[in-house]
Chains A and B, each alone.
Chain A
Amino acid sequence: MKRVESELITNVEELLEDKKIGFFMGYENGSLPLRTSPCFVKEKEDVQRLVWNCFCTNNLSVYLVSLIPELPAGTKVGILCKGCDSRSLVNLIVEKQLKREDVLIMGISCSGMINIDKLTGNLDGGRILEVEENEEEVILKLDTGEQRFSRKDSLYESCKNCTHPTPSVYDILIRVGEHAPKSVCPDPMIAKFRQKERLERWQIFERELSRCVRCYACRNACPNCYCKECFAEQTKPRWFGLSNELSDVLFYHLVRILHQAGRCVDCGACVRACPEKVDLRLFTRMLVDEVKERFDYEPGLSPNDSHLLGVFSTDDTQEFMVEVD
């Protein structure tokens, strides 16, 4: 990891020196152990703040749409992109929210992000002093001793089933290691869910959403949600009430999921942002699989793609028409 970090820092330093980019978006250590926060580097002196480890979870492309119009014209933004981040970014280009030439993508072939809860949930107590990681393990050094966690078991669900760990589009690529795509479609978790009885599926849906407090963190963390006025906050008409009633919560979530159809890249940012740990991915991943199976399309792979819902084919399925006897 130290090699990757130093490669990253030298690259950014060079880019800033040659004035190829106005500033760079990456990660720095957060104020708590095991946490990172987004870091915006403008000056060469600040480059040393950048880090790369298995906790760099934020999808940085979420900032681009609001940020770029505020910059002086012609400023190029450097951005550190994992596989999923780059697909989000490409999707923004496809939806004409960004121009390819406005960003310089520093790709990093990612080996999956570690779910902090899976680590801290299994701690024997003690304060975390230092973290080390290698290909197989994450090692936490506590004041009471050392604890090792298998990397494979501690990954986020979305990372376990990542379709493209290497960025789909990049200007510079930093390799962490070679990773073959390991995704199975449909996701085994979703396939299992689909086999359940109708009532049971509904109960799972209801149970998950009953925890939702409607903070809209899932929307704010999502690069796809860039609308200036979200349907959730529209008042003319107001689509649903502001209460925690199930029907209001349901309305928000159903529409949010439907707005993601054909656009969601399954980066898992919404799940990580959720303070109540609602399994939002269960619902969006279902549509991702459907898009793949039915239309053989994966969003975010090429900036020249057309938006799935913006085009049509005369062979589109019509199997759900009202039948007249």
Chain B
Amino acid sequence: MKEFQPKIVVFCCNWCSYAGADLAGVSRLQIDPNFRIIRTMCSGRIEPEFVLSAFEKGADGVMITGCHPGDCHYISGNYKTLRRYHFMKVLLEELGIDTRRIGLKFISAGEGIEFQNTVNSFVEQVRILGPSNGAYKE
């Protein structure tokens, strides 16, 4: 049987992780081709609507990436993501939804290899979980 190929949406911030993804590209690092990048100006821009909407439209996993703490181009955007995202994770977990489908990682512009490893392991994790069937249910 053909292996399940998950669809992963990766939100990248313009200043760090998008450049990190770019570095992974120009360094010709092998990454599973299961992810699609959406670039935002800052990880603080990512509203709960974005993540839920990705799932509703058929994504099997969503990953949010941003600058490392202290490196944010807008000073504190990534810290605000951290808190907001914490509540999202808690709420979904409490309602009985498997939150392993949502990931957060800080990746700087110089960490191409980190980007490769993170995406690969996240894809692998979601592949084990199987398709999300467009529902929020596990």
Q: Is the CB of B86 within 8 A of A205?
A: no
Q: Is the CB of A258 within 8 A of B88?
A: yes
The answer to the question of B36 belonging to the interface, with a C-beta cut-off of 8 Å to chain A, is no
- A283 contact set on B, CB distance < 8 A: 91, 95
Q: Is the CB of B69 within 8 A of A314?
A: yes
Closest chain-B Cβ to A319's Cβ sits at a distance in Å of 9
The answer to the question of B118 belonging to the interface, with a C-beta cut-off of 8 Å to chain A, is yes
Closest chain-B Cβ to A240's Cβ sits at a distance in Å of 7
Q: Is the CB of A325 within 8 A of B121?
A: yes
Q: How far is the CA of A323 from the CA of B138 in the complex (A)?
A: 20
Given contacts A290-B87, A310-B80, A322-B104, whether A202 and B96 have CB atoms under 8 Å apart is: yes
- B137 contact set on A, CB distance < 8 A: 202
CB-contacts of B92-119 with A (<8 A):
92, 94-97, 99, 103-106, 114, 117-118
Q: Is the CB of A254 within 8 A of B121?
A: no
- A318 contact set on B, CB distance < 8 A: 82
Given contacts A198-B96, A316-B83, A324-B121, whether A251 and B52 have CB atoms under 8 Å apart is: yes
SS class, residues of chain A in contact with chain B: helix
Q: Is the CB of B95 within 8 A of A205?
A: yes
Given contacts A198-B138, A205-B96, whether A322 and B84 have CB atoms under 8 Å apart is: no
The answer to the question of A257 belonging to the interface, with a C-beta cut-off of 8 Å to chain B, is yes
Count of residues in B whose CB is under 8 Å from the partner chain: 41
- A98 contact set on B, CB distance < 8 A: none
CB-contacts of A40-85 with B (<8 A):
none
Q: 1/0 contact trace for A193-221 toward B, CB 8 Å?
A: 11000111111010000000000000000
Closest chain-A Cβ to B12's Cβ sits at a distance in Å of 14
Number of A-B contacts (CB under 8 A): 106
Q: 1/0 contact trace for A248-263 toward B, CB 8 Å?
A: 0011001101110110
Q: 1/0 contact trace for B72-84 toward A, CB 8 Å?
A: 0000100110111
- A325 contact set on B, CB distance < 8 A: 121
Q: Is the CB of B138 within 8 A of A258?
A: no
- B90 contact set on A, CB distance < 8 A: 286-287, 290
CB-contacts of A217-259 with B (<8 A):
231, 237, 239-240, 247, 250-251, 254-255, 257-259
Given contacts A199-B96, A250-B136, whether A322 and B82 have CB atoms under 8 Å apart is: no
CB-contacts of A170-202 with B (<8 A):
193-194, 198-202
Closest chain-A Cβ to B124's Cβ sits at a distance in Å of 9
- A320 contact set on B, CB distance < 8 A: 85-86, 89, 99, 104
- B114 contact set on A, CB distance < 8 A: 324
The answer to the question of B3 belonging to the interface, with a C-beta cut-off of 8 Å to chain A, is no
Residues of chain A having any CB pair with chain B under 8 Å: 193-194, 198-203, 205, 231, 237, 239-240, 247, 250-251, 254-255, 257-259, 261-262, 283, 286-287, 290, 294, 308-310, 312-314, 316-318, 320-325
| 8 A-B pairs closest in CB distance | A202-B96, A312-B79, A201-B96, A322-B103, A261-B87, A258-B48, A198-B96, A322-B105
